[in-house]
Amino acid sequence: MLFNPIAGRGRAVVVAGSIVTRLRALGHRAFERRSERAGHIRALAGEVAEDVDRVLVLGGDGSLREAAAGLLGLAPEARPELGVLPFGTGNVVARELGLPLDPIAAVDVIAASGSTTWDVGRARADDGPEEVFLAMAGFGFDAGISARIDAARASGLGARWYRWSANTLYGWCGVRELLRLAPPRFHVSMEDEEASTRAVSAVISNTRTYGKSMWLSPRARPDDGRLDVHVRERANPLVGAAVLTLAQLQRPIPRRLATDTPAVEARVTAQSVAAPVMWQVDGDRMPEAQEIVVSISPAALRLVGDPRP
């Protein structure tokens, strides 16, 4: 089991100890490894892979994404199964797998579960390194919220607010981004099409779950060998609010509000050099870029659990 010892203001250390104790009580050989720096979970996943059948991550979608990147650096036959013990804010992948959102409660479920194939999204911006994602890549509005969250957490008040109630801080930042008067636009095209859509928001999903229990792309599945490209063209705050409300209710979103198109590759391009694209993968902000190419690697990993029907 891999985890960040400072997560949850240090509570992760106690939780991790309880999880290892429970796994051993269930008859498993289990041990923990602690990350020591940003990106260390990726290296740890690769290091322990040959000694274990399963790599479990106590953390959120970002930590799970790091571990996935580490396993993807190995030959397919050398990759152990990957599991998540939810300890983040969104826990999108855990929700998609139908796991309890309490990591202690999730232990017994994971110990008794098989695994399922999982497609992995890949994104490369300009000449930068490839980034992987298990749930989604977000552009424009979606990434703008992440930027506001990061800015808020950098301040004393925002950091205390996040510790007190991350959900309300996300909601506040979402409303502020929704009311932005002139959000930057960018172009989205799929496959090898030259025609593009001029958008203010795009989410390229591998899962139907997006942010808590919201569904932006209800048809998305992590084992169907494709991505679902959700695009909103209109900047009207009422349109954005309607889309988010329907997503929260897990209801279909009419095409007049936003489109949702299956694809195996998508390209997101800035409208001008002066207005680079803001983007994020599985909640992790990425450096702004002029062009991001997103593709899918079918059945690249096996995740512990059963995707919800």
Q: Are residues 293 and 147 in the same domain?
A: yes
pLDDT digits (tens, 9 = 90+) for 190-212: 987 776 889 999 999 999 998 87
Please give the tally of structural domains in the chain: 2
The pLDDT tens digits for 143-180 are: 998 888 888 888 888 888 887 888 788 888 888 898 88
Q: How confident is the model at residue 74 (pLDDT cuts 50, 70, 90)?
A: very high
Output the average pLDDT for the chain: 92
Do 132 and 228 belong together in one domain? yes
Tell me which of 20-24, 221-225, 269-273, 304-308 is least confident: 304-308
Q: Report which residue type is found at 112.
A: A
**pLDDT at residue 193, rounded to an integer:** 74
Q: Do 288 and 157 share a domain, yes or no?
A: yes
Per-residue pLDDT reduced to its tens digit, 233-250:
999 999 999 999 999 999
Q: Which pLDDT score, from 0 to 100, does residue 309 have?
A: 67
CA distances from 259 to 11, 175, 233 (A): 41, 22, 9
Inside any domain, residue 107: yes
Please give the pLDDT value at position 29: 95
104 and 230 housed in the same domain: no
Residues 109 and 135 in one domain: no
Same domain for 17 and 80?
yes
Output the pLDDT for position 195.
67
20 and 80 co-located in one domain: yes
- Domain assignment present for 308: no
CATH number at residue 19: 3.40.50.10330
Question: What does the pLDDT read at residue 157?
Answer: 86
Domain span at residue 143 reads 122-299
Look at residue 286 and tell me whether its pLDDT is greater than 90: yes
Give me the mean pLDDT over the 180-191 stretch.
89
Tell whether 187 and 249 lie within a shared domain. Answer: yes
pLDDT in tens, 31-41: 999 999 988 99
